[in-house]
Chains A and B, each alone.
Chain A
Amino acid sequence: MTASIQIQKTPELQYLLRLGDTCLILGQRLGEWCGHAPVLEEDIALTNMALDLIGQARALLTRAGQLQSPAFDEDQLAFLRDERDYLNPTLVELPNGAGRPGDFALTVLRNLMVATLLKLLWQKLAESSDSELAAIAGKAIKEARYHQQHAADWVVRLGDGTDESHRRSQAALDALWRYTPELFEADAVDEAAAASGLGPRWADVREAWMAEVGDVLAEAGLKPPADSVFRSTGKTGVHTEHMGYILAEMQHLQRAYPGGAW
């Protein structure tokens, strides 16, 4: 088995990994729907979005790896880090719902939450002091808009649909909502990024996120549960038990056959 790489967790690297790992892990989750979605069109849509996210992750991890000394490439960062070195918010690592492939209502609701977050971040990252990051954002924002629009259509269709689809959508919202405050927690990584012009504090987009997600939920007839004191901690590398299973699936081939390529 190939040994894990050791990264130097500078604030700049952590900021890029939070973005890159958000795209990477949600891309992996959406990929689980391949061949299992409720209708063919959605199978294609979910895997198309997974492909966009993995493309964005590749660009972000490539950039992150260039900032390390010695440098790492995208594959080393994607496949050879230990769990604590993945910095995605917990929200994206949660399973798609009970069982496999999971719950479609939860999947589209999470897609709405994450696409809205990423769209708002990309808008600001397009002005990043890092020209490569700005270029990645300029491309990705166009994709995130389609993801957000598509997820919003489904959240409304299901939330405002049958009694059963409404019930399951509300249950999904109740389950996911407690993981959203983590997205906007302020810390030193974000402060450093804001100070250097690398990118916004995620907290800077909280108000816009609440407004856009809130509009869709209202249209869908869904109501967020009361705020909880619970705080998830994926962005600091402390994950749920689900993360290990994702990494086992993602990393197995590269660990068993080091440097294997298509």
Chain B
Amino acid sequence: MSDTAESGATRAERAWDVLATVLDPEVPALSLRDLGIVRDVVDDGAGLEVVLTPTYSGCPATEVISQSVIDALTHAGLGPVRITMQRAPAWTTDWISDDGRRKLREYGIAPPGPVEPGQGVPIRLVGRLSATPVPCPRCGSTNTERLSAFGATACKSLYRCVACREPFEHFKPI
């Protein structure tokens, strides 16, 4: 670990600060740290290794995210940087920070509830009414209904608030 004279922070610590400013391209209300996809930052002397985890197997933003991490850290003078993708343990929405959940709500996206162990087994035939109510991020009412299980991105579903009549997105627990 090479301490920098000016701030006293290590290169890895400064990298963590920078990563708090790199936004998720699909949900730009959240930084990569809010999202919980940065697993580790390792300073091996020659450079930084940033260990990221994918949110979904087919998430098309994965490559963009890797590139924006490299760009941001290089721009901050912390390069060279290399990215390692690590799948296990699998990312879960439980890793989204409390601050991230607040930001999602303010952005108009209902944050995910806790992931239930063994969810979906056996299959629950619940139709449009969710078993666990999703509160409207605008008015807070739990009188909401699901319009579609899949939204504009793999991580979200579409809802409508019956109370205030506004449509909104819900970040699916996974």
Q: How far apart are the CA atoms of A132 and B150 in the complex, in Å? A: 28
- Type the 1/0 row for A109-150, where 1 means its CB is closer than 8 Å to any CB of B: 000000000010000000000011011101111110110111
How many chain B residues touch A (Cβ–Cβ < 8 Å)?
33
Q: How far apart are the CA atoms of A44 and B153 in the complex, in Å? A: 9
> Which residues from A are CB-within-8-Å of B126?
153
User: B45 interface residue, CB < 8 Å from A?
Assistant: no
List B residues at the A interface (Cβ < 8 Å): 54, 56-60, 86-92, 119-127, 147-154, 158, 172, 174
Shortest Cβ distance from residue A51 to the other chain B in the assembled complex, whole angstroms: 4
- Is there contact, CB below 8 Å, between A52 and B119? no
- Main secondary structure, interface of A, reads helix
CB within 8 Å for A44 and B150 given contacts A139-B90, A146-B172, A212-B123: yes
> Which residues from A are CB-within-8-Å of B89?
138
Shortest Cβ distance from residue B169 to the other chain A in the assembled complex, whole angstroms: 12
Shortest Cβ distance from residue A154 to the other chain B in the assembled complex, whole angstroms: 10
- Is there contact, CB below 8 Å, between B149 and A45? yes
Q: How far apart are the CA atoms of A197 and B158 in the complex, in Å? A: 40
List A residues at the B interface (Cβ < 8 Å): 41-42, 44-45, 48-56, 58-59, 119, 131-132, 134-136, 138-143, 145-146, 148-150, 152-153, 156-157, 212, 215-216, 219
Shortest Cβ distance from residue B127 to the other chain A in the assembled complex, whole angstroms: 7
- Main secondary structure, interface of B, reads loop
Q: How far apart are the CA atoms of A134 and B91 in the complex, in Å? A: 14
Shortest Cβ distance from residue A12 to the other chain B in the assembled complex, whole angstroms: 20
Shortest Cβ distance from residue B168 to the other chain A in the assembled complex, whole angstroms: 15
> Which residues from A are CB-within-8-Å of B120?
119, 145-146, 148-149
> Which residues from A are CB-within-8-Å of B127?
153, 157
- Is there contact, CB below 8 Å, between B154 and A212? no
Q: How far apart are the CA atoms of A135 and B57 in the complex, in Å? A: 11
- Is there contact, CB below 8 Å, between A139 and B54? yes
